[in-house]
Amino acid sequence: MQPYIRIEKRNNMEKQYRQETKCIQSGWTPKNGEPRIMPIIQSTTFKYESTEEMGRLFDLEEDGYFYSRVQNPTSDMVAAKIADLEGGVAAVLTSSGQAANFYAVLNICEAGDHIVSAASIYGGTYNLFGVTLKKLGIECTFVDADADEETIAAAFRPNTKVMFAETIANPALVVLDIEKFARIAHAHQVPLIVDNTFATPINCRPFEWGADIVVHSTTKYMDGHAMQIGGAIVDSGNFDWDACGSKFHGLTEPDESYHGIVYTKKFGKAAYITKATVQLMRDLGAVPSPMNCFLLNVGLETLALRMERHCYNAGRIAEYLNSHEKVSHVNYAGLPTDKYYALAQKYMPKGTCGVISFELTGGREAAVRFMDSLKLAAIVTHVADARTGVLHPASHTHRQMNDQQLKEAGVSPGLIRLSVGIENVDDLLEDLAQALEQA
Ligand SMILES: *Cc1c(COP(=O)(O)O)cnc(C)c1O
C-alpha cells in the first residue's frame, strides 16, 4: 500500500468548493481503504529503505517526511485546509499564534531591517515587535491604522521589509482598511502581512484585497473550543520577491545551509512557506504536536457554522447593550453606529466576530460588580471560544497601570471585553441583564 503520508502542505484541492465545504472536506482526501477521518501521525520519524532515498529528502530534492520538527503529515493536512480556506498556495502550522507572527516576520527580516505595523494590535504582538525584535536588531514603527496614506507612508524607510496589521484588532476592534494598507506596502515594494485571527477566512479573505501573507492564532475561532494553542502562516504566492532586487535576498539568493538552493527558483510561488518550513522550523522548531493539529481540525470542521452563530449572538447583544442605560459606549463593528461599520460592511459583509467591548457608566467598581454577578459568562483571559467569556482589562491584562496610564492606552477603567459564545442568545441576554442590575 502506498503510504498515506505523502501529503503536501500545499492547497491541492482540485475543485474550488465553497467555504463551508472546505471546512469539512479540505486537507485530507482518503484513497481506497484509507481512514475516513484525518489520521493523527503521532511519530517523530519516518522510515526509508535506502540511504540514498533519505539523502534526497535532506537535500530538498524530493518531497517526503523524515522528522516531525520540519514536517509532519497531520500538521500538513490541516495546513492545506487553512491554505484552501484563505485561498493561498500553501501554509505552515506553528505551536502558537505568537510563533506564527515571529516566523512570518523573521522569514524575511534580519538585524538592520525595519518593519511598519499598525499600533492597535494584540498586546503580545506589540511586545514582540516593540521589544523582542528590537533586541534582535529589527526595528518597528507603529502607525495609526486610521491615518491617511501619506502619514502612514512617512513611516517607511529604505530598509523596511514588512508591513503588518490585524483585520479586526484584538482587543481594540479596529477594522483594517486592507486595500489602503496593501497599496502603501506595495508602493514601497514590501509585502503586507495580515493577522486574520478574529475575522477568520469565513468572514474575510485578506488575499482578495491585496494582502500577501496571512497569519493566525488558531487558538481562537479556528479551534473554537479552547483546546489547543496554535498558529498558522499562509502565503498567497502573489508577492514577487524577485522583482525587488536583493531586498529579499534570503529568498532570492543561495541558501548556504542547503548547498546553495535559491527558494524562489526552486519552489516558485511556495518559496516563502518552504523557507519558513525548512529553515525556521529546522532551526527554531516551534512545531505543533500532531495531536493538537488533529484537535484544531475538529474545530475547523464547524468553523463556518460557529462563526455564523457567534456573529448573530454578538449582534443581538451589542444592540441590547447599546440601548442599556448603564452602558455608556459599545464597540462592535457590526453595529450601524460603530466607527468601523462601513469598513466592516466592505470587507466582512457576512459578519465580523463575536468579540464586543463596552463601557459601564459606573466605571471600575460597576465593572467589577457586573463581572462577579455573571453566571453563564466566565471570567477568562481567552477569547473566541464556544463558551462566553468576559474580561476586565483594568483588573486583568492591564492591571499594572493606574487610571491615567489606562487612559493613555485607550483602556478606560470601566471597559469590559465580552467574547460572545454560541449558547442560546436569550440565556446570555438574561445573564447580562441580571448582572447589569447588580452593577
Ligand atoms: C491570541 C492572539 C495572538 C497570539 O496567539 P497565541 O496562539 O495565544 O500565541 C496573536 N494575534 C491575535 C490577533 C490574537 O488574538
Segments of 181-334 assigned E as strands: 192-195, 213-217, 231-235, 327-331
Residues 67 and 130 in one domain: yes
- Residues with Cβ within 8 Å of residue 373, at least 6 apart in sequence: 434, 435, 437, 438, 439
User: How many distinct structural domains can be found in the chain?
Assistant: 2
Domain boundary among 281, 299, 317: 299
Q: Is the CB of 117 under 6 A from ligand 1?
A: no
Look at residues 71, 140, 150, 63 and name the one whose alpha carbon lies nearest to residue 109: 140
The domain boundary, picked from 268, 299, 330, lies at 299
Residue 159: what pLDDT? 98
Q: Cβ(98) to ligand 1 under 6 A?
A: yes
Q: Do 290 and 432 belong to one domain?
A: no
> 30: CA distance to ligand 1 center in Å?
32
Strands (E), 59-175: 90-94, 114-118, 139-143, 160-166
Same domain, yes or no: 370 and 238: no
Is the Cβ–Cβ distance between 201 and 85 less than 8 Å?
A: yes
Per-residue model confidence as pLDDT tens for the chain (439 residues) = 344 445 555 666 667 899 999 999 999 988 888 899 999 999 999 999 889 988 888 888 888 898 999 999 999 999 999 999 999 999 999 999 999 999 999 999 999 999 999 999 998 999 999 999 999 999 999 999 999 999 999 999 999 999 999 999 988 899 999 999 999 999 999 999 999 999 999 999 999 999 999 999 999 999 999 999 999 999 999 999 999 999 999 999 999 998 899 999 999 999 999 999 999 999 999 999 999 999 999 999 999 999 999 999 999 999 999 999 999 999 999 999 999 999 999 999 999 999 999 999 999 999 999 999 999 999 998 999 999 999 988 888 777 777 777 776 667 888 899 999 999 999 999 999 999 999 8
Pair (68, 171) in one structural domain: yes
Centroid of chain to Cα 265: 28
CA of 60 to the centre of ligand 1 (A): 32
Cα dist from 349 to 202, 206, 312, whole Å: 11, 13, 13
- Do 265 and 318 reside in the same domain of the chain? no
The dihedral built from the CA positions of residue 353, 354, 358 and 364, taken in this order, carries a sign that is negative
One domain, residues 219 and 287: yes
Tell me the residue range of the domain where 430 lies: 305-438
Write b or e for each residue in 2-33: b if 16 or more Cβ atoms lie within 10 A of its Cβ, otherwise e.
eebbebbbbbebeeeeebeebbeebbbeeeee
Ligand 1 pocket mutation pick from 82, 98, 120, 213 by most atoms within 8 angstroms of CB: 98
Residues contacting 371, CB < 8 A, separation 6+? 379, 390, 392, 395, 416, 435
How is residue 289 annotated by DSSP?
P
Residue 10: per-residue pLDDT: 61
Q: Which three cell numbers stand for residue 265?
A: 527558483
- All residues at 6 or more sequence positions from 399 whose CB lies less than 8 Å from its CB, including other chains: none
Residue 122 in contact with ligand 1 by CB distance below 6 A: yes
Give the pLDDT of residue 408. 67
Determine how β-strand 213-217 pairs with β-strand 415-419: unpaired
pTM of the model: 0.95
* Size of the chain, expressed as the number of residues it contains: 439
Q: Do 108 and 239 belong to one domain?
A: yes
30 and 169 co-located in one domain: yes
Q: Is the CB–ligand 1 distance for residue 166 below 6 Å?
A: yes
CATH, residue 217: 3.40.640.10
Which DSSP letter does residue 153 get? H
Does ligand 1 lie within 6 Å of residue 167's CB atom?
Answer: no
**Is there a single domain that holds both residue 312 and residue 236?**
no
Q: Which of these three, 299, 329, 359, is where a domain ends?
A: 299
204 and 293 co-located in one domain: yes
Q: Tell me, yes or no, whether 105 and 60 share the same domain.
A: yes
Q: Enumerate residues 6+ apart whose C-beta is below 8 A from 232.
A: 79, 82, 91, 92, 93, 94, 100, 215, 216, 218, 222
CATH code where residue 330 lies: 3.90.1150.10
pLDDT at 238: 97
Residues 244 and 351 in one domain: no
Could you write out the DSSP letters of every residue in 362-424? THHHHHHHHHHH-SSSEE-S--S-SS-EEE-TTTTTTTTS-HHHHHHTT--TTEEEEE--SS-
Three cell numbers, residue 152: 502612514
Strand order in the sheet with 415-419: 327-331, 355-360, 415-419, 389-391, 378-379
Any residues with CB less than 8 A from the CB of 372 and at least 6 apart, and which? Answer: 438
Distance of alpha carbon 208 from alpha carbon 211, whole angstroms: 7
User: Residue 196 C-alpha to ligand 1 middle, in angstroms?
Assistant: 10
For residue 184, the model assigns a pLDDT of 98
Which residue's CA lies nearest to atom 7 of ligand 1? 97
CA of 367 to the centre of ligand 1 (A): 25
**197 CB less than 6 Å from ligand 1?**
yes
Nearest to 303, CA basis, from 108, 21, 15: 21
Distance CA 422, CA 335 (A): 19
Ligand 1 pocket, 160 CB below 6 A? no
Binding site membership of 288 for ligand 1 (Cβ less than 6 Å): no
The ligand 1 atom nearest the CA atom of 195 = 13
215, 219, 381: residue to mutate for ligand 1 pocket, most atoms within 8 A of CB: 219
